[in-house]
Structure 1
Amino acid sequence: MKKNNTKYTSVSRLALTVGFLSAVFSGNALAAGELHLYNWSNYFPPSLLELYEKETGTKVSVDNYASEDDLLAKLQAGGGGYDIVFPGTSTLGIMVEKGMLENIAVNKMENFDKLLGSFKTIAGDENRDFSAPYMWGTTGFSYDPASVPGNKLEESWKELFEPKAELKGNIAMLNEMSDVWNAAAYYTGIDKCTESPEEAQKILDLLLAQKPDVKLYSSEGTIDRMIAGEVPVHMQWNGAAHRVKAKKPDVVYVYPKEGTSFWVDNMAIPKDAPNMEEAKKFINWMMRPDVAAEASNYTGYSNAVKGSGEFLKEELKADPAVNTPESYGERLRAFKTCSPKSKDLREKVWTKLKS
C-alpha cells in the first residue's frame, strides 16, 4: 500500500524537534540498536521511525500483516523475531491468556500517567501489565454519495447486508472475523457473545446471503480503493475513512444505528523479542503527547494520551469520522470478553463463510 507522506504541522514539528534536542543535550539519548515492529500496513508514520532513530540511534523497521489471524498464526509458529506487535483488544486477550507476551509493567513506565484514565485498563490486560494503547477508533462503513442511489444511504448496516439492487456485487467488507461478526450481530439484534448455535446460524445465514453481493473481503487497500472509486460502499475503520475524505471530501462515514464497534489497538512485546529493553523504551516513548499526536495525524485515528490535542491537525479535530459526535455516543459498542464456547461458534461461522 502506498504510504501517506503526511507532513508535520508547524506545532508538531516544533514539539518533535524540541524533544529531539532535549534528549541529545540532556545526555539521555539511548544507545544505538535496532527494533522490529509487526503492524497493519500503512498504520505507522515513517516520520516517527526517522525521529526515533535521530533521538536514540536505534533503527526501526516495520513488517506488515493483513489480518490479526495472520499476526497470531505467525507468532504461534515462532516466526518473525519481532520486538513490538500491535494487537486489537480481542487478540491482546488471547495473547495474554496463551502466555505469548512479556509482562513489561506498562503501568510503571514513566509516561503511563500521561494516558487518559479510561485507557489505563483494558479487557484481558486490566492492569496494563502487558500493553499500552496505540490508536483507537470505530468500525462503520463509508460511501461515496455520487455513486449510490439517491446520493444518500441510511445509517444502518442494512445498506451492507441487504444492499440496494444497484449496489449488489459492488460493496466491500473488511477481512476481519470480529468486525464482520459484530456487525452482523448488531444488525440481527443478537448478543455478539452468544453461545446459542441457533443464533450463530442466523448470523451465518445473513452473511451467506450477503456474500454474492460482496465484491471482496479485504482489510488492506481500503483507502486507495475508495479514492479510486473501485467500490462505492466499504466497511471501514474511521481513520481510513478520514484519509479517504482528504482526497474525496464528499465521502460519508456512517455510524450504523444498530451498533458500531469501538476498539483499541495496543502495543505489546512478544515473549521471545530479541530487543526487549529497547522495545520497552520505545513503548514508553510512544506515550509522549507530541509523538502520539504525530501518529494520529498520520493514521487519522485518535490516541489515548493527554496533552496530545494541541499537536493535532485541525482537520482531524473537525472530522466527525474521527471526532465522534456526542449524538452518536449511544451507538458505540465496546469490546466484550466472550466465552470459549462463543468464540468457537464465531470461528466456525467465519470458516464456513470464507470456504
Structure 2
Amino acid sequence: MKWMTTTATALIATLAFAGAASAAGELNIYNWGDYTSPELIKKFEQQFDVKVTVTDYDSNDTALAKVRAGGHGFDIVVPSANYVPIWVKEGLLVEARPDQMENFKNVDPRWIDVAWDPGRHYTVPWQWGLTGIGVNTSVYKGDINTSAIFLDPPAELAGKINVAPEMNDVLFATIKYFGGDWCTMDKDVLRKTRDKLVEAKAKWLAMDYSVTEKLPAGDYSAVYYWNGAIMRSRAKNADIKFGYPKEGFPFFMDSVAILKDAKNPENAKLFMNFIMDPENAAMISAFAKYANGIKGSEKFLPADMQTAPELVVPTEFEAAGEFLIACDPEVQQLYSKIWTEVQK
C-alpha cells in the first residue's frame, strides 16, 4: 500500500464526509418479512443520514404484482434468483452496475457470474439457503430426511404441519419426490405432483410464514420451510431438528436490486455497496441465519453459524440439492395451474 501524505488523507476524509452528507434523505426497502436486520438498518441510517423504511412482502409473486401495478414508492426489492430474470425482462430494474462498486471485490466469486444475473449488472447477494424439513422430535422420532414428512405425513404429524406458501419451492420438492426433474413437462410426473399435493394439503394445518414463533411454541409439529427460520426456531426449542429431503431439495439466493422507478436511486446504490462490506453482510446473516455470499463475513458471524446443522449440508445429502432456476414461460404456466388447484 502506498503511503499517503497528511494533506491527501485530509482531502479524502473531506470528500468522504461530503459524500455522506449528500446522501441525506430517504430509502424505501421492499423485502421479505422478518428478513432485515434492524441493527443493519440503524447503522446505515447513522452512517449516511438516511431515513430507511422497510415494508414486508410474503412471496415473490406478491412483490412482483405490487411493483407491476405501480405507485408503490419503493426503491429496493429483494427477489429470489429464479425471479430476477422476470424483473429484468419486464424492465422493472435499474442496471445499477454493482460490479463497478467499491465493495464488489468482497463478493464470493461463486456468486458473480450467476445464471440469473451474469456478472452482476443488476443485483448483489443478500442471503442464500435451502428449503428443508423442520420437525419437533418430541412429537415424531422417525426419519425426517424426506419430503414424505409433508407429502405423506406420518400419523403423529398429520394436521400439525405448515408448508411454505411459495409455489416453486413446494413444486420442486414434490416433482423430485416422484423422480422428476425441475422444469419438467412430463405429464405423468405433473399429474402425480398435482394429485399428491391436493391429497397432502388436507393433512396440513397451514401455509404461512409464522414459523419462527409457531414451530418452537408447538403450534406446528413439522414444517417444510427455509433453513434459517428453522435454525431460529431451534434456538428457542432444542427439540426442533432439521432434515434434508433425500429425494431432492432446492437452494435459493435472494438478491438486492434497485427499481426502475425508484425515487432515491443514489441512496439505493449506497445501500448496495454498504451490504457488500463483510461486517455488514454478517449483520444480515446473524439476524436471519442464512449465508450471505460475501467473502470475509465469516469472521464476524456468531460461532454457532459455523457448524449449524441447518447451514452445513451433510456430505450424504449434497447431491440432493439443486439450485432453483427460472423455468421457461410455458412450464411456469403449467406449474401455476397446478398451484391454483392446490390452493383451492
TM-score bucket of the superposed structures, by smaller chain: over 0.9
Matched, 1:64 2:43: no
Q: Of 10, 13, 20, which residue of structure 2 is paired with 1:29?
A: 20
Matched, 1:224 2:213: yes
Q: Of 173, 177, 194, which residue of structure 2 is paired with 1:204?
A: 194
> What letter corresponds to residue 64 of structure 2 in structure 1?
L
CA contact (8 A) 1:38 1:62 kept: yes
Computing the radius of gyration over CA atoms, which structure comes out larger, 1 or 2? Answer: 2
Superposed CA deviations along residues 294-313 of structure 1, whole A, max 9, x for unmatched, are 11111100111111111000
CA contact (8 A) 1:49 1:59 kept: no
CA contact (8 A) 1:96 1:124 kept: no
State the shift of 1:25 in Å.
Answer: 10
State the shift of 1:352 in Å.
Answer: 1.1
> What letter corresponds to residue 290 of structure 2 in structure 1?
Y
The corresponding residue for 2:175 is 185
Q: Is the partner of 1:90 in helix, strand or coil?
A: coil
State the shift of 1:134 in Å.
Answer: 0.3
CA contact (8 A) 1:30 1:55 kept: no
- Structure 1 window deviating more from structure 2 (197-206 vs 266-275): it is 197-206
Q: Give the direction of change, closer, same or farther, for the CA distance of 1:53–1:23 in structure 2 (3 Å limit).
A: farther
Q: Is the partner of 1:61 in helix, strand or coil?
A: strand
Give distance in 2, aligned partners of 1:23 and 1:225: 49
Q: Give the direction of change, closer, same or farther, for the CA distance of 1:72–1:87 in structure 2 (3 Å limit).
A: same
The corresponding residue for 2:237 is 248
State the shift of 1:147 in Å.
Answer: 1.2
> What letter corresponds to residue 210 of structure 1 in structure 2?
A
Q: Which runs of 4+ in 1 moved over 3 A?
A: 22-26
> What letter corresponds to residue 186 of structure 2 in structure 1?
S
The corresponding residue for 2:160 is 170
Q: Taking structure 1 as the reference length, what is the TM-score of the superposition?
A: 0.90
Matched, 1:143 2:132: no
CA contact (8 A) 2:81 2:325 kept: no
Matched, 1:107 2:99: yes
Q: Give the direction of change, closer, same or farther, for the CA distance of 1:253–1:102 in structure 2 (3 Å limit).
A: same
The corresponding residue for 2:69 is 77
- Structure 1 window deviating more from structure 2 (327-336 vs 273-282): it is 327-336
Give distance in 2, aligned partners of 1:209 and 1:155: 21
Give distance in 2, aligned partners of 1:207 and 1:171: 13
CA contact (8 A) 1:24 1:55 kept: no
Give distance in 2, aligned partners of 1:46 and 1:248: 23
> What letter corresponds to residue 220 of structure 2 in structure 1?
V
> What letter corresponds to residue 71 of structure 2 in structure 1?
G
Matched, 1:317 2:306: yes
Q: What's the % identity of the aligned pairs?
A: 34
- Can you give the 5+ residue segments of structure 1 that lack an aligned partner in the other structure? 1-21
CA contact (8 A) 2:59 2:166 kept: yes
Q: Of 230, 250, 272, which residue of structure 2 is paired with 1:283?
A: 272
Q: Of 265, 279, 284, which residue of structure 2 is paired with 1:295?
A: 284
Give distance in 1, aligned partners of 2:254 and 2:63: 13
Give distance in 1, aligned partners of 2:13 and 2:41: 16
- Can you give the 5+ residue segments of structure 2 that lack an aligned partner in the other structure? 1-11
Give distance in 2, aligned partners of 1:29 and 1:23: 11
State the shift of 1:250 in Å.
Answer: 2.7
Q: Is the partner of 1:261 in helix, strand or coil?
A: strand
> What letter corresponds to residue 181 of structure 2 in structure 1?
D
The corresponding residue for 1:93 is 85
